Amino acid sequence: MSTKSLVQGPQMSAQTHDTTKARSTSGARRAVRQGFRRSKDGCLNCKRFHSKCDEGLPECLRCRQSKRKCEWPEHVRAKLAASAEGLPSVDPTTSTVMSTAVAASPLLAGTRMEGARSFTAPWTSTYCQPTDPIAMAYPDPQERRLIVHFVREAPSILTGIPIHPQNVLFLDLSRVMSDRGFGLSADALRLSLLSIGALHQAWLENSNDEASTDLCLTSRSVANHLQLAADSCLKAAVLLSLTSTSESDDTLLMATTMLYLFQVLSASQRKREHMETARNLVQRRGGPAQILESAMGASSYTSVRKLLECLAVFDMFDALGSGKEPALLASDGEMDPWWYDCVENSEQVDSVECAFGVSRGVLEMLARTVRLVSLARRAALFGYSPLSDNEELINELELFEAASQLEEELQFWTTTAAAEGGHKRKRSGNLIYIETAKILLACNVCGLPREDPRVQASATLILELSKECNTHLGLVLYLMWPLLVAGAQVDGDQRWLALSVLEVFSTRSGSTRLGPWYDSCNAARGVLQTIWNRVDNHLPHSGFQDVAIEMGVQFL
């Protein structure tokens, strides 16, 4: 062995020993487990079951999944009650929970953000792992919580039969998944969705304890502010749209429709201005048929068609409460081809039936009935006055002939509705609206008194079917007008039945928690009591239309 090797040997051994020692020290340092700090702000239920709480407000994920009422420590409840400038804060770590909810929702499935289309970094990179799929469109955690809440609760508050793959049929959420400032129409739609989510959360947070009451008032205040912001964006977008026509007009129609729904849900008296805006937007583009002809692509056509269908039905309900004629469906008293030309395949669920729980043909027949009621009102029959001196009055004979033809159609629908297949809610909804049309023709066109046996029989059947829809099906959306029309005709014990049906309408399937139509039910209760007071005291203007117009309320 050479002298050189003897010298290098110990040196290399020392270097190897130092390197091994450094690696072992580094590995030991990495092996040390990070300390865990137990949170004192978690839900009491999670503490009771020794589970880690995500501290999501107003209820954590575990309580929501197990359908338990979330209970919070006293200091957390005090902090929530003291929050007066916005919704209670949400820990950013709950973004994982929201990501799960968004990924599981069919509404958000397949949507992607406009700002993320050019992002092509590899998934193996540490810096491109997404924390939340909607973080770019909704950077604020409070907004993400509200939009996920809206998506989760949309079927129960906006759909008559929530069995369709998409919960809100006319709503294309890809239009609100872009970055902020993408367009005034998109911002108006985004804010309108957030306002409905906050309003619905206010109902869910309502309870007897003081903290939850304050929290409910805070959420309602946030909903109102979001609605005002959406309204401002909508007005600016409408003014800008007067100079040009683009595909953003579809987004504008969606935003207008959602703001109309917010006004209905909150029982506001400013609903008609949004519906009037929607009518003007549709008429300016040539009407529903012209809009459908200009729709580009199958997906765009389907989305626009469903939007126009919902707008046409909302317009009919608005006309029923305002005494005007429907503008988007059966406006000339004849069948509208566009309403039937776009019917889906028989193997699929009809979008109108799914949205409103009523057949397409029954709604079209009801629109012609509402138009006839408006003409009778304008013709100054049975004590009514024309809306203005310049309006053309319909001939009385023509009015009765049209009513006679509609009565024949009603008889046909009565015999076929009971034997028709499909969802039970649709069969009940068909019968309810058929009997409603009979009452409208009998009392508001033909002049029969409310005491007539045929009127009383129809009113009783409507009340019983409405109660059955809630008791056995839990599906009562879009049945408020039939309940008002029937309730205005009854006396004695039948009035208690009408009030009891309203009571179960205002709760979540008869439970003690407030439902999404609580405010509308309160307004409907006031309308019925005003009608009954005028009838009992033989006062004029005791019809449901007179009282609804006088009180400035609308229903669906």
- Which pLDDT tens digit goes with each residue over 473-529? 556 667 788 888 888 888 888 888 888 888 777 765 444 444 556 677 788 888 888
- Which pLDDT tens digit goes with each residue over 111-160? 443 333 333 444 444 444 445 667 777 888 888 888 888 887 777 777 76
pLDDT score, position 168: 61
Query: Measured between alpha carbons, how far is 313 from 326 in angstroms, rounded to an integer?
Result: 9
Per-range mean pLDDT, top range of 138-142, 304-308, 435-439: 435-439
Q: Give the closest residue to 90 by CA, choosing from 133, 62, 56.
A: 56
Contact 372, 406 (CB under 8 A): yes
User: Between 156 and 386, where is the model more confident?
Assistant: 156
Query: Measured between alpha carbons, how far is 106 from 418 in angstroms, rounded to an integer?
Result: 33
Q: What is the DSSP string of 440-504?
A: IIIIIIS---TT-HHHHHHHHHHHHHHHHIIIII---TT-HHHHHHHHTT--THHHHHHHHHHHH
pTM for this entry: 0.71
pLDDT score, position 124: 40
- Which pLDDT tens digit goes with each residue over 82-108? 543 443 444 443 444 344 444 444 444
Lowest-confidence range among 194-198, 384-388, 533-537?
384-388
Query: Measured between alpha carbons, how far is 10 from 187 in angstroms, rounded to an integer?
Result: 73
pLDDT score, position 271: 59
Lowest-confidence range among 261-265, 307-311, 382-386, 530-534?
382-386
User: How many helices and strands (H and E) does the chain possess?
Assistant: 22, 0
User: Between 538 and 3, where is the model more confident?
Assistant: 538
pLDDT score, position 386: 47
Q: Does pLDDT of 3 surpass 50?
A: no
Confidence category of residue 212, pLDDT binned at 50, 70, 90: low
